[in-house]
Amino acid sequence: MRIGLAQINTHVGAIDANTEQVVETAVRARDELGCNLVVYPELTLSGYPPEDLLLHRGMRLRVEAALERVRTGISGIAVYVGFPEYSGETIYNAAALWLDGRELARHRKVVLPNYGVFDEKRYFEPGTALTVVDFLGLKLGLAICEDVWEPAPCAAAKAQGAELMIVCNGSPYHIAKQRDREALLAERIAETRVPMLYVNMVGGQDELVFDGGSVAMDSTGDVRFRAPAFENGLYVLDVERGGDGLLAIPKQSVASVPDEAESVYEALLLGTRDYVDKNGFDAVVLGLSGGVDSALTLAVAVDALGAERVHAVMMPSRYTSDMSLADAEAQAAMLGVRYDVLSIEPIFEATLGVLNEIFAGLPVDATEENVQARCRGVLLMALSNKLGKMLLTTGNKSEMAVGYATLYGDMAGGFAPLKDCTKSLVYALARFRNSRSAAIPKRVITREPTAELRAEQKDSDSLPPYDVLDPILEAFIEQDLSVDQIADLGFDRKTVGRVLGMVKRNEYKRRQAPPGVRVSRRAFGRDWRYPITSGY
């Protein structure tokens, strides 16, 4: 049997376009590649995750029309395609195997994830059993994503005689996710001795990035094929009987798994590109400060969209150093983007003048710093509105965690590529990007970080060093450790308490932040739901 693995990028809610993509890839798999079967990702027709679109009255009619298009528009090849199934008032996360207008089998997802970024129990009813179907003399076990993350469904399929598991997936990226997936699949195979074909989608959807990495593993748990990460593709496998069960024999080589820096960088590119493109923006604008965060954001934007679609703006104040001015201009020239310099001094002076009477007798503090950030936000949002360019914010996870960011200032914008990257990771990504080609002036990476909102300001004036701050944040955010547990890891208890206090106090800011690419196991956004008002 020759099987096509359709590692494709779908668009949530674009049901007609998704369906056309299914038809086109099926025709190609049949005519050019000689496939008997082509397998698609989870909820292909609706895109994943469709969230409350599933509850819209018109969604059911569109999905049913899409299924009819699949039924009538594809012949001579079988397709296993995912879709939301409506049955009365119930919705299932389903996938069906079609051949020449006939539905050979339909599987309803049995295990519904309801943790982290997943809330499928809000929408779907679970299926009751794994589905096994005889196709071209082989018994195929049909599964959807989380079905293989628990032992029971695969064991049940094995008991029904399944010889090969076909798994369609919408599995989002985080650091080391491919390693986790393949280890999990190897566990299921060790339990059942049934090989697996695992097809994952690619693409960005709001905060989530789907990285592909579709994989075929034989009955010993060895990887026989792996699709490239973060790339669309239609890949072919020949499946044949062997002495040790069925063996998946790849027509392509096994792609390597990117290391951490490369995989995160590629996730940022894909997430940024798809968010901008799928939301209909032709270009982006961002503030370029001469610091490492905005420098990395600029590099990501250029690599994701092309220099012609990126507009960088330097907005100096009385506190902006000559170094920052020079480095921002140098990077803009290096990457070939439009570059403008708009001083905020007139706006800053005018704002202070308006507030002078009310502020009389009060000391200068963070208020004046925040006014500068908000002056910049006004200019950037004006450019976004007038020129129709999406505003990218440049802040990182470390800053967002402890509130070292200005609401309605540097937090203003439409998308935050670095939202889930700690400051330590930002530096690693900047170095990685420069290892490919020069994109960020070296001095931007080596200089001491500063917001330049007051004279001689350094980040270390307000925060612990990032090599202390970031591990504390990871322990709290990703591992849910307490103050005492984090202190037991070797950190000063007073510092830990201070950091965690800042995280909790600034939840109200994070609720108003733009979405950004999720790369960690727990990002601020979908899978972080702390109360704003709390006496804990």
User: Which among 257, 278, 299 is the end of a domain?
Assistant: 257
Does residue 10 fall inside a structural domain? yes
User: Which among 460, 480, 501 is the end of a domain?
Assistant: 460
Does residue 524 fall inside a structural domain? no
Residues 280, 231 share a domain: no
Does residue 65 fall inside a structural domain? yes
Residues 8, 78 share a domain: yes
pLDDT in tens, 199-238: 999 999 999 999 999 999 988 888 989 999 999 999 999 8
pLDDT in tens, 187-200: 999 999 999 999 99
Residues 295, 215 share a domain: no
Rg of the Cα atoms in the chain: 26
| Cβ atoms 402, 506 nearer than 8 A | yes
Q: What does the pLDDT read at residue 252?
A: 64
* Domain CATH number, residue 50: 3.60.110.10
User: Which among 201, 226, 257 is the end of a domain?
Assistant: 257
Residues 226, 326 share a domain: no
* Domain CATH number, residue 326: 3.40.50.620
* Distance from chain centroid for Cα 439: 23
Q: What does the pLDDT read at residue 534?
A: 83
Q: What does the pLDDT read at residue 278?
A: 96
Residues 302, 195 share a domain: no
Q: What does the pLDDT read at residue 115?
A: 85
User: Can you list the pairs that 250-255 forms with residues at least 24 positions away whose Cβ atoms lie under 8 Å?
Assistant: 250/216, 250/224, 250/225, 252/225, 252/227, 254/223, 254/224, 254/225, 254/226, 255/226, 255/227, 255/228, 255/229
Residues 409, 369 share a domain: yes
Q: What percent of the chain has pLDDT over 70?
A: 98
Residues 273, 131 share a domain: no
Angle (CA) 22-26-32 rounded to 5° is: 140
Q: How many domains does the chain have?
A: 2
Q: What are the residue numbers of the active site?
A: 42, 109, 145
Give every residue of the chain whose pLDDT is below 70, as ranges: 242-248, 250-252
Residues 269, 122 share a domain: no
Show the tokens assigned to 78: 């079988």
Residues 326, 221 share a domain: no
Does residue 9 fall inside a structural domain? yes
Does residue 281 fall inside a structural domain? yes
What do you get for the CA distance between the two ends of the chain, in Å? 59
Give start and end residues of each alpha helix (H) in 317-465: 322-335, 345-359, 366-387, 397-402, 423-436, 442-446
Q: What does the pLDDT read at residue 463?
A: 86
| Cβ atoms 460, 448 nearer than 8 A | yes
Residues 277, 231 share a domain: no
Residues 308, 225 share a domain: no
pTM score: 0.93
Residues 53, 183 share a domain: yes
Distance from C-alpha of 325 to C-alpha of 84, rounded to nearest angstrom: 53
Residue 308: domain span: 261-460
pLDDT in tens, 318-328: 999 999 999 99
Does residue 207 fall inside a structural domain? yes
Q: What does the pLDDT read at residue 455?
A: 82
Show the tokens assigned to 410: 């540097």
